Amino acid sequence: MSAQMEFWLYLYFPQLQLDKLLVLHSNTPATKTLSDKGKSHHLDLTAPLAIVGADHQLLQLNKAARQAGLTLGMGLASAAALCHQLQLIPHNAAQEQQQLQQLAQLLYQYCADIALQPNCGLVLKLSPMLALYGGAMQFWQQLQQVLQQAGYQYHFATAQQPLVARLLAQQGWDQFLLQNEQIQQQLKALPLQQAQLPDKLQEQLQRLGLTQLGDVLKIPQAELVRRFGVDMLHYLQQLTGTKPALLQFIQPAEHFEQQLDLLYEMERSDQLLGPLQHLFGLLQLYLQQRDQLAYQLELCLQQRQGQQQQLQLHSAQGEYQSKEWLKLCELQLERLKLNKPVIQLKLILRRAGPRYAQYKTLFAGKQQLYSALQLLSLLQARLGKDQIASPCLNNDLLPEQANRYTTALEPQTSIEGSLAAVRPAFLVDPPLVLDAEQQQQLQLYYGPERLSSGWWQQQSQHRDYYVGQNAQGQWLWLFRDLQQPEQLYLQGYFS
Amino acid sequence: MNALLQQLQNRQLIWHANQTEAPYEHCQSTGFPALDRLLGGGWPQHNVVELQSHGACAELQLISKALGQSGSDLLQVWINPPAALCAEYLLQQKRPLHQVLQLNAPRSADALWAAELCLKSGSCTDVLLWQNNLNLTQLKRLQLAAAQGQSQLYFFRPAMAEQQLLPWALSLQLTPVTTGLQIRILKRKGGWQQQEVLLPWAELYPQFIKPELHQKHSSHPPLSRVS
């Protein structure tokens, strides 16, 4: 039977929110020095710390808090009595859900069928993956490695039915087994309080004197259903696997948009680099999974009082590696002045494309540190996009119209026709009027070269161009407008 | 050798006459035989060259042959040029326009940073930088970057009376006189200083100065281009 071949792994993450803080803390060494100074608004993760639910119960505790004698589920009043310097953080279910999503995306690299479960759990379908990894233990080792790198605490269990795996994982069984007998044995010994029955059913069963799940399973199913109704039937069907579980498996995200709450308010832009590294790491993972390169990113710095600043990050060549993006971002942050302290970062991928092999000069005998496009991105990040340009030639006779600038490094269409013999390296735009004294000191060497342009429109121009040298010995490109022949204009410098 | 001398030598405190800095290994001809002779072969390669002048006196003309020979598949970067670049001039020099970058960096720290990045990137052949001041550390950084990226920096700055002595591979002062351009060596690695050469204008600007006519107003008929 195919149902017997199915095996599920349930991963339960008991303290996602707290672990996230610890992971972030290890990424930002600056926090430690600041917290040592005893600033009140910085969290100290080595001192007792607890996550508190809406009903004022402790949900997650760090090591120091446990050592101080606090336990899970304790009320705030007794917690404060036991440990007066306890730091409290409100529980944030939305944030935990987001972290669970991230974990699922991370594991998607290794397992095809993953479903999110309520209460910080993930269920993975093992059976189809075993052939790929050549055995259950190899697969499990791979998963363990990934989970360890992510840095979250977890409990796990395997079973032929998702519900059984969940019950055992939340109990903290932590066994990776593919023998059904042992699993069933463990299941039968499960206390009824932990069986996740609807409250009413659980109370009724307990009044009958049943304490373990095994006691319930001994009673014939038909009898149970007749007495306890359709809820019992659903539960038993899930427990025995006679009805397939309704699971919605995750799909890889279509867009990359990640946000990160900072541990404390950051006032200097260089402090942001630690948390940013984490975000760019997620981006790298996203891009690697899709074999893509990112060309444009948007970074939103959420600040106090609902303000925000935005940064556009560009890479002309396209990058996926977090260290390259971090370098580009660092250059932009250097120029940025923060209006208000930053409390949250948000990174959005705006433009991405497929990844091609990047060719570098192999035969020129040069060691290339950056390609031309990478160089351009770095320059643009620090100097600003509009400070860098390539010259271009337009099809016009007037020098100030013909010689313009365009986007840097963009291939240009060539213009047919022969080039004029005499053109200076630098142009003055608009042309400068020379006064009588300056004209007196000039010595003309070459010309005239007549340019007549615009006669087909209203603004016709007829100019005679000369090369001259002024009293300082500088070589100038000059012209005389035929409508006022006594006046000389300076058009450019030979150099 | 006695022990004291040996000790001094080990600490590299003794200068040997036979260890004077050798002149640069690779040279790029300037295209002007007289200047080549003065410089002992031409422009030093993969290094920093300083050109001091008031501007608009053939300083680009001096390096145009070297720029032309350094390959057109890599970038040429102009940082803070004194005026807008003329695309027609660049095309005359056989330089593809999309391989030319112009940077405007109002702050001098940014300009130096950009120059260093371009030099060491390995995707530029020549960097032309207009800047007023430079100190020893900055010059050393630029020289290392040029050597690392096998690129060349031409550093243009206004002629100034008093100068801080910097270890340029080559530093030239350009002064226009009536007959031509006077080129004086201010500093040259492994060579003698204070030598001069005069390049006549006709040699520098052959396209518009005829050798026999260069003092007189030219008399050939007006060129005209009418479209």
Find the closest chain B residue to A387 by CA distance: B104
Which among B71, B99, B218 has CB closest to A445? Answer: B218
Pairing of strands A388-393, A87-90: unpaired
Residue B179 counted as domain residue? yes
Label residue A343 exposed, middle or buried (CB < 10 Å: 0-12, 13-18, 19+): middle
pLDDT tens across A100-133, in order?
Answer: 988 998 898 889 899 999 889 999 998 888 888 8
CATH topology for A257-358+366-383 is Dna Ligase; domain 1 (3.30.1490)
Percent of chain B with pLDDT over 90: 44
For chain A, say whether B217 makes contact (Cβ under 8 Å): yes
CB within 8 Å: B89 and A424 = yes
Residue B69 counted as domain residue? yes
Identity of the amino acid at A331 = L
Q: Which residues is A183 bridged to in the sheet?
A: none
**Over residues A62-89, mean pLDDT:** 89
CB within 8 Å: B55 and A419 = no
Question: Which of A324, A375, A398 is the mutation pick for testing B, counting most B CBs within 10 A?
Answer: A375
CB within 8 Å: A449 and B225 = yes
Residue B134 counted as domain residue? yes
Q: Is the dihedral of CA B95, B105, A323, A290 positive or negative?
A: negative
Kindly indicate the confidence band of residue B227, based on its pLDDT and cuts at 50, 70 and 90: very low
CB within 8 Å: A391 and B87 = yes
Q: What average pLDDT is seen over chain B?
A: 84
Label residue B11 exposed, middle or buried (CB < 10 Å: 0-12, 13-18, 19+): exposed
Range of the domain at B69: 31-204
What residues does CATH 3.30.70.270 cover in chain A? 2-15+94-240
Distance from the Cα of A469 to chain B's closest Cα (Å) equals 9
CB within 8 Å: A391 and B113 = no
Q: What average pLDDT is seen over chain A?
A: 86
Q: Looking at this predicted complex, what is its ipTM? A: 0.84
Residue B174 counted as domain residue? yes
Residue with tokens 């518009």, as numbered in its chain: B208
Choose the most confident range, by mean pLDDT, from A87-91, A239-243, A250-254, B71-75.
A87-91
Kindly indicate the confidence band of residue A27, based on its pLDDT and cuts at 50, 70 and 90: low
C-beta separation of B52 from B159 below 8 A = yes
C-beta separation of B189 from A485 below 8 A = no
Cα-based angle B171, B175, B178 (whole degrees, multiple of 5): 155
CATH superfamily for A2-15+94-240 is Reverse transcriptase/Diguanylate cyclase domain (3.30.70.270)
In this predicted structure, the answer to whether residue B188 has a pLDDT above a threshold of 60 is yes
pTM of the model: 0.70
Residue B131 counted as domain residue? yes
For chain B, say whether A388 makes contact (Cβ under 8 Å): yes
In this predicted structure, the answer to whether residue A34 has a pLDDT above a threshold of 80 is no
A474-478: long-range contacts at Cβ-Cβ below 8 A with a sequence spacing of 24 or more? A474/B54, A474/B55, A474/B56, A474/B57, A474/B176, A475/A424, A475/B56, A475/B57, A475/B58, A475/B205, A476/A424, A476/A442, A476/B56, A477/A422, A477/A423, A477/A424, A478/A434, A478/A442, A478/A444
Distance CA A215, CA A212 (A): 5
Distance from the Cα of B6 to chain A's closest Cα (Å) equals 40
As for how many domains chain B has, the answer is 1
Percent of chain B with pLDDT over 70: 85
Two tokens at A49?
């710390």
Percent of chain A with pLDDT over 70: 94
In this predicted structure, the answer to whether residue A316 has a pLDDT above a threshold of 80 is yes
The CATH number assigned to the domain holding B136 equals 3.40.50.300
- The pLDDT score that the predictor gives to residue B219 is 46
- Look at A385 and A4; give whichever has higher pLDDT: A385
Kindly indicate the confidence band of residue A490, based on its pLDDT and cuts at 50, 70 and 90: very high
Residue B113 counted as domain residue? yes
Lowest mean pLDDT among A144-153, B68-77, B85-94: B68-77
What residues does CATH 3.30.1490.100 cover in chain A? 257-358+366-383
Residue B221 counted as domain residue? no
